[in-house]
Amino acid sequence: MAYSAGARDLQALLWVASKLRVLANDTLCLGDQTLYLMAAEALEKRATWLAAALPPRTLEQDRDCQDHLPVNLII
C-alpha cells in the first residue's frame, strides 16, 4: 500500500521547518545554526516534492479550506 501525503502532512513538515529556522536564529553556535538551517531547507524541499504529487483540489475543497499565511522568516 503506497503512502500519499496529505495537506496536513505538508503543514506539519513546514511547521517543523519554521521552528528549526527560529532555533537557528536564536542559537549562538554557528555549527548548530548551519545544521538547523540545512534541516529546515531539506524539510521545505521535501514538502515541495510531496505537494507536487497531491491531486488537484476541487472548488468545494477550496471553499472549505482555511489557507494559512506562508511562513516568512528572515534570518
pLDDT tens-digit profile of 38-66? 999 999 999 888 888 877 765 555 555 55
Closest CA to 73 of 44, 30, 45: 44
* pTM score, whole prediction: 0.66
Distance from C-alpha of 30 to C-alpha of 44, rounded to nearest angstrom:
21
Residue 8 pLDDT class (50, 70, 90 cuts): confident
Distance from C-alpha of 29 to C-alpha of 5, rounded to nearest angstrom:
34
